[in-house]
A and B are shown apart, each in its own frame.
Chain A
């Protein structure tokens, strides 16, 4: 079955610097890759996603890249701000048992140092 690995587990960056979180997946049939942000005490929320027919997608300070050949995708946050501090989860969507399911990475705790 599909397996999603996420690195690093914790990332600490200086405010204003960039942060990059990487994920790899195992099933080449996966076609959709969302990223979720979980703030302290809250449930995760979708922040950006990418489909397999696209190599890169950008939304203001966040961007996601996808390399289907290498089966990895990354989240890039530029000009980091204190409010970017959170746990970030990647996921891969797979059609399995007659339904679409998300397979989740283990999460990355992003700490923005003032």
Chain B
């Protein structure tokens, strides 16, 4: 059973370009979470999605950032018109289909975004 997969692992963009980060949850998982981590800092929650639904996007900037988790395919975190401050590691986590208080979140290896 493959773990959470994220690609690309490293992404370099110039200011003003778009960044697309992909996350494939573990098999059987239908809850996906995106986090941002700046160097030497903790995890910052961005958005929580279920299939075709955004459940909580309170941690995601209102502008330039969007996320989706379609019925088929991976979850996508999209950052438009990137700026240097977007440089960070972006982690995706997934948890099982049945909502439970004790759901473990399984993390992917992260995508390290560098904006030049």
Selected from A31, A97, A104, the residue in CB contact (under 8 A) with B45 is: A104
Shortest CB distance B36–A (Å): 12
In residues 3-58 of chain A, which contact B (Cβ within 8 Å)?
31-32, 34, 36, 41-46, 49, 51
Task: State the interface size on chain A (CB cutoff 8 A).
Answer: 27
Q: Say whether chain A's binding surface is mostly helix, strand, loop, or mixed.
A: strand
- Complex contact B55–A49 (CB within 8 A): no
Residues in A lying within 8 Å of B, measured CB to CB: 31-32, 34, 36, 41-46, 49, 51, 87, 89, 93, 95-97, 99-102, 104-107, 109
Asked whether B56 is an interface residue with its Cβ less than 8 Å from the other chain, the reply is yes
- Complex contact A99–B99 (CB within 8 A): yes
Selected from A43, A99, A101, A106, the residue in CB contact (under 8 A) with B109 is: A43
Chain A's closest residue to B105 (CB) is A102
What is the bound-complex CA distance between A106 and B48, given in angstroms? 19
Given A34-B104, A101-B56, decide whether A43 and B42 contact each other with a Cβ distance below 8 A: no
Task: State the interface size on chain B (CB cutoff 8 A).
Answer: 22
In residues 18-56 of chain B, which contact A (Cβ within 8 Å)?
40-43, 45, 48, 55-56
Q: Say whether chain B's binding surface is mostly helix, strand, loop, or mixed.
A: loop
Shortest CB distance A38–B (Å): 8
Q: A93-B101, A97-B56 are in contact. List 10 more A-B contacts (CB 8 A).
A: A43-B107, A89-B43, A96-B56, A99-B55, A100-B101, A100-B103, A101-B56, A104-B42, A106-B41, A106-B42
Return chain B residues, CB-CB under 8 Å to A106. Answer: 41-42
Q: Of B42, B107, B108, B110, which is in contact with the most chain A CB atoms at under 10 Å from its CB?
A: B42
What is the bound-complex CA distance between A47 and B109, given in angstroms? 16
Shortest CB distance B25–A (Å): 13
Given A42-B109, A43-B109, A51-B102, decide whether A101 and B43 contact each other with a Cβ distance below 8 A: no
Asked whether B76 is an interface residue with its Cβ less than 8 Å from the other chain, the reply is no
